[in-house]
Amino acid sequence: MKQNSSSPGVFVLLGFSDKPQLEIVLFVVILIFYILNLVGNTIIILASCRDPKLHTPMYFFLTNLSLLDLCFTTSVAPQLLVTMRRKDKTMSYSGCIAQLYVAMELGSTECILLTVMAYDRYAAVCRPLHYAVIMHRRLCLSLAATAWLSGLATSLIQCSLTIQLPLCGHNHLDHIFCEVPVLIKLACVDTTFNEAQLFVASVVFLVVPVSLILISYGYITQAILRIKSASGRRRAFGTCSSHLVVVIIFYGTIIFMYLQPVKSRSKDQGKFVSLFYTIVTPLLNPLIYTLRNKDVKGALIKLILGKARG
DSSP symbols for 7-18: S-SEEEE-TTTT
| Model confidence pLDDT, tens digit, residues 114-143 | 999 999 989 988 888 899 999 999 999 999
What is the predicted pLDDT for the residue at 223?
85
Tell me the C-alpha distance between 11 and 82, whole Å: 14
Q: Tell me which residue of 117, 18, 110, 132 sits closest to 62, measured CA to CA.
A: 117
What is the predicted pLDDT for the residue at 1?
47
pTM reported for the whole predicted model: 0.87
Element (H, E) at 100: helix 93-126
What is the predicted pLDDT for the residue at 142?
96
What is the predicted pLDDT for the residue at 305?
67
Tell me the C-alpha distance between 167 and 164, whole Å: 9
Q: Name residues of the chain where pLDDT drops below 70.
A: 1-8, 236, 238-239, 261-267, 289-295, 297, 300, 303-310
**CATH homologous superfamily for 10-305?**
Rhodopsin 7-helix transmembrane proteins (1.20.1070.10)
What is the predicted pLDDT for the residue at 88?
83
Contact 290, 300 (CB under 8 A): yes
